[in-house]
């Protein structure tokens, strides 16, 4: 990696705190950073990497701060960015909120962390749980310096020994977001599912966990399961460092000694066609340039035994619209002028049903010269006891030499999808029997 120094700057480019690891760059080289960033933004070429004659700067922006790594050599940029994000995670775990004020209030602890996280420009140790055991925010006398835990030098560096819990439990959440790109005609142009397995572990000792999923590779290699079992083909799988990769490559079993507390065990992606679960159609009619009417049809595309809860259909309207009136046999409607939108709320939306809503607005009598832009309609909903991806936890075994009994809990949760443009459909699929969706469709 070979990062020469790390800086934390405010929005004006003033250095709040820094650490020079290699001494191969002049101390004032960071003075060029803000000028380079502003020049890139003015040209519309904003990039997380900027270069000067003296150094290469790689940075991320977090709230009102710039976290910057400077390097004189040809560093591994991907590794640098991973380290910067881990640095933010560690600071956030210590200070709750990482902002300018928390940096100024915690200079001493930050310098201690920077010395532990990196040595001579190379990342060393970034496990927050272990760091918090010997780098604390309480004052200590010089003669009673804390001794680093054995986990720092152990093969299992992410978990301390002799951990004890009164109640041994494991909570596993499968969190998925579905991203769809839909054309104005309703054709799904692209869809994929991005998921992760989140865990919260409260186990005593040094347990080993074994997790089995309905992975397609495993099912095809097991006799008699390819035809009878429903499998999911995982792509771009990324694991936490605690997972034994050799074991996974051999028999697709996810075997690991978990950290204590919360962590992300794995992330993955599935490429598959997914259709919108609640489909929206809209018709907009203008009358004599003085009023406009919206006819909205919402149709559920899932089975009758399922019901969508807390459905919100957000229909954008002109910013100068006034005197709203609504007609709908199902749910309630309200005008949100701060959003320039109508929010149609349906508490329970059964599968295989469709509902209509009609909205009327008055408009100024002057007609604009240009055609009015039509922002997308947003839809938010939750569907209990419903899944789309089909991924399932087949087993979760807990093995510990003392033989205690532990309770594993598995649920499937849904969150919003990632970023999307005006034609994107973004839904959330949950495996704890909960599906939430937040997507957009074009008006017609």
Per-residue pLDDT of the chain (444 residues; tens, 9 = 90+): 579 999 999 999 999 999 999 999 998 999 999 999 998 888 878 899 999 999 999 999 998 999 999 999 888 999 999 999 999 999 998 888 899 998 988 899 999 999 999 999 888 888 888 888 888 765 333 344 455 555 555 667 788 888 899 999 999 988 877 776 766 677 777 788 888 899 999 999 999 999 988 876 555 555 444 445 567 788 888 999 899 998 888 888 899 999 999 999 999 888 888 777 788 888 888 877 688 899 999 999 888 888 888 888 989 898 888 889 999 999 999 999 988 899 999 999 999 999 999 999 998 765 554 455 667 778 887 777 676 788 888 899 999 888 888 888 888 775 445 433 333 233 333 223 333 344 444 433
SS3 for 32-64, per residue? HHHHHHHHHHHCCCCCCEEECCCCEEEEEEECC
**pLDDT for res 247:** 87
Q: What whole-number distance in Å separates Cα of residue 138 and Cα of residue 133?
A: 12
* Contact between residue 113 and residue 131 where contact means Cβ atoms under 8 Å apart: yes
- Tally of CB atoms within 10 A around 214: 17
Chain centroid to Cα 339, Å, comes to: 25
Instruction: Determine contact, residues 395/211, Cβ cutoff 8 Å.
Output: yes
Write out pLDDT tens, residues 49-105: 999 999 999 999 998 999 999 999 888 999 999 999 999 999 998 888 899 998 988
| pLDDT tens string 185-227 | 777 777 888 888 999 999 999 999 999 888 765 555 554 444 4
What pLDDT does residue 416 have?
Answer: 43
Nearest Cα to Cα of residue 379 among 313, 443, 316, 428: 313
What's the pTM?
0.63
Is there a contact between 355 and 385 (Cβ–Cβ < 8 Å)? no
Specify whether the CB–CB gap between 299 and 278 falls below 8 A: yes
> What percent of the residues of the chain are helix, what percent strand, and what percent coil, each to the nearest 5?
15, 40, 40
Task: Quote the tokens at residue 170.
Answer: 């494991």
Token pair in block for residue 441: 């469709």
């Amino acid at each position: 990696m070979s990062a020469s120094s790390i800086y934390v700057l405010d929005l004006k480019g003033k250095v709040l705190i820094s650490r020079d690891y290699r001494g191969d760059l002049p101390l004032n080289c960071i003075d060029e950073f803000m000028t380079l960033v502003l020049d890139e933004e003015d040209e519309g070429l904003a990039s997380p990497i900027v270069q000067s004659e003296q150094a290469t700067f790689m940075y991320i922006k977090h709230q009102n701060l710039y976290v910057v790594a400077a390097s004189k050599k040809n560093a591994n940029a991907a590794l640098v960015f991973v380290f910067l994000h881990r640095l933010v995670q560690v600071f956030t775990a210590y200070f709750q909120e990482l902002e300018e004020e928390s940096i100024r209030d915690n200079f001493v602890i930050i310098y201690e962390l920077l010395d532990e996280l990196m040595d001579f420009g190379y990342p060393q140790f970034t496990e927050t749980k272990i760091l918090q055991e010997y780098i604390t925010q309480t004052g200590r006398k010089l003669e009673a310096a804390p001794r680093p835990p054995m986990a720092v030098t152990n093969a299992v560096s992410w978990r301390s020994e002799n951990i004890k819990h009164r109640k041994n439990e494991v909570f596993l959440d499968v969190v998925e977001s579905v991203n769809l790109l839909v054309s104005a005609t309703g054709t799904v142009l692209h869809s994929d599912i991005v998921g992760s397995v989140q865990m919260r572990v409260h186990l005593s000792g040094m347990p080993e966990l074994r997790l089995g999923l309905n992975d397609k590779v495993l099912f095809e290699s097991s006799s008699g399961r390819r035809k009878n079992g429903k499998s999911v083909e995982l792509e771009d799988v990324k694991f936490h460092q605690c997972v034994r990769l050799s074991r996974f490559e051999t028999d697709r079993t996810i075997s690991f000694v978990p950290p204590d507390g919360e962590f992300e065990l794995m992330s993955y992606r599935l490429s598959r066609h997914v259709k919108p679960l609640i489909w929206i159609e809209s018709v907009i009619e203008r009358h004599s340039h003085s009023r406009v009417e919206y006819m909205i049809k919402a149709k559920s595309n899932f089975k009758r035994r399922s019901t969508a809860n807390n459905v919100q259909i957000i229909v954008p309207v002109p910013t100068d619209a006034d005197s709203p009136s609504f007609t709908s046999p199902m749910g309630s409607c309200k005008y949100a002028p701060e959003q320039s939108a109508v929010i149609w709320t349906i508490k329970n939306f059964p599968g295989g049903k469709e509902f209509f809503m009609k909205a009327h607005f008055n408009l100024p009598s002057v007609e604009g010269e240009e055609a009015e832009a039509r922002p997308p309609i947003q839809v938010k909903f939750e569907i209990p006891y419903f899944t789309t991806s089909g991924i399932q936890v087949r087993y979760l075994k807990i093995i510990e030499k003392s033989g205690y009994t532990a309770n594993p809990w598995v649920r499937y949760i849904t969150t919003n999808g990632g970023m999307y443009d005006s034609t994107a459909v973004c839904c959330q699929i949950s495996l704890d029997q909960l599906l939430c969706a937040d997507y957009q469709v074009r008006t017609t």
